[in-house]
Amino acid sequence: MSLSNLRKALKAETNKEQAKILQRFFKTGPGEYGDGDIFLGIKIPVLRNIARQHLSLTFDELQELIVSTIHEERMSALMILVQCFPKCTNEEKDKIFKFYIKNTKNINNWDLVDLSAPQIVGGYLIDKDKQILEKLSDSNNLWEKRISVLATFQFIKEKQFDTTLKIADKLLLDKHDLIHKAVGWMLREIGKRDLKTEESFLKDRYKTMPRTMLRYAIEKFPEKKRKAYLAGTI
């Protein structure tokens, strides 16, 4: 299957009404975080099926997709990489990782990050030096910072919490709510596996961290404890 075939398949599934809904949902208006992003209005299961039929696309073809102004084309490229990654040789995984890092500026909405960062960035770095995540967390680019957080989801699943906690600490007072949500979500995932570790991190920080971050982090706590955290009485 070629790139042109993939684009034809996407065009055939275009839904203008759904596209309008998605463009509002993903904040594509002037000055919003998704400013200028164009949606075709294709639902995720359909998009994933199209991607599955085009796993043989070359890196050159994927590069054309990842720089597209059309959201679903960028997402298709990422879905192909995510589906291919677990079956790849180490050399192929290395190429996918480098391709991903080269294109972080094009992975520019939260769904694109969340779909791909854990599996590709986290999956690649699970047994490697993770310094690049700290570099991404220092970026002025919102999406690179979110990638740095979401990539650690893969480590959390293996009960490796140190990198997540280090990056969470660095981003504790970040201004953007999409970072607040990402950090709080990852803290919650740590708590699912090791509540003591999560609460140890929260102990000296919960009163100063953004409210949204705290709410995400304690979402699964018992109601009484959750209210105590929100009231600042722990």
Q: Which CATH number fits the domain that encloses residue 52?
A: 1.25.10.90
- Bridge partners of residue 38, in order along the sequence: 70
Residue 196 domain boundaries: 102-234
The pTM for the full model equals 0.94
Q: Is residue 97 part of a domain?
A: no
Give the separation between CA 157 and CA 139, rounded to whole angstroms. Answer: 25
Number of domains in the chain: 2
Q: Is residue 202 part of a domain?
A: yes
Last residue of a domain, one of 57, 87, 117: 87
Residues 121 and 75 in one domain: no
Q: Give 20-64 pLDDT, tens digit per residue.
A: 999 999 999 999 999 999 999 999 999 999 999 999 999 999 999
- Whether residue 83 contacts residue 52, with contact meaning beta carbons closer than 8 Å, is answered with yes
Residues 24 and 116 in one domain: no
Structure token pair of residue 186: 């990852």
Q: Is residue 14 part of a domain?
A: yes
Residues 142 and 228 in one domain: yes
Which amino acid is residue 226, in one-letter code? Answer: R
Phi, psi angle pair for 70, to nearest 5°: -90, 120
Q: Give 59-97 pLDDT, tens digit per residue.
A: 999 999 999 999 999 999 999 999 999 999 999 999 999
